[in-house]
Amino acid sequence: MRRPSPPPTPAPGQTADLLRLRLGEELDYARRLIEVTGDTLSGDPIAVSRHLVALQSLDIVGQMLTHIATVIRSNDPKVAVDAIGMGDLKARLTRSGSL
């Protein structure tokens, strides 16, 4: 009978919360799927000429997922949000007021 593998050791600055680590992994996986889709479509010159804005949006969504995954995995989410380079995403995450 195989013993279950131990939970992954969090990287420095990451939370020890296994669920948050796994949520971050899932967001990374979703980003990779979007990236592969974008790369595939970008290989078709007709698709690029017809859907350039949509392809650029896929890239932006991928960047957002990367930043959100980092925040979720962080042991200090506020610091992780402060480190986000996408100004519009950072502004949305730090806005005041109700949802």
* Full-model pTM: 0.83
What values do phi and psi take at 93, rounded to 5?
-75, -25
Q: How many domains does the chain have?
A: 1
pLDDT value of residue 83: 94
The percentage of the chain sitting over the pLDDT mark of 70, rounded to a whole number, equals 87
Task: Name the residue range of residue 65's domain.
Answer: 18-84
User: Is 49 among the domain residues?
Assistant: yes
**Whether 72 contacts 11, CB under 8 Å:** no
**Ranges of the chain with pLDDT below 70:** 1-12, 99
Instruction: Give 26's Cβ-side CA count (13 Å radius).
Output: 7
User: Is 65 among the domain residues?
Assistant: yes
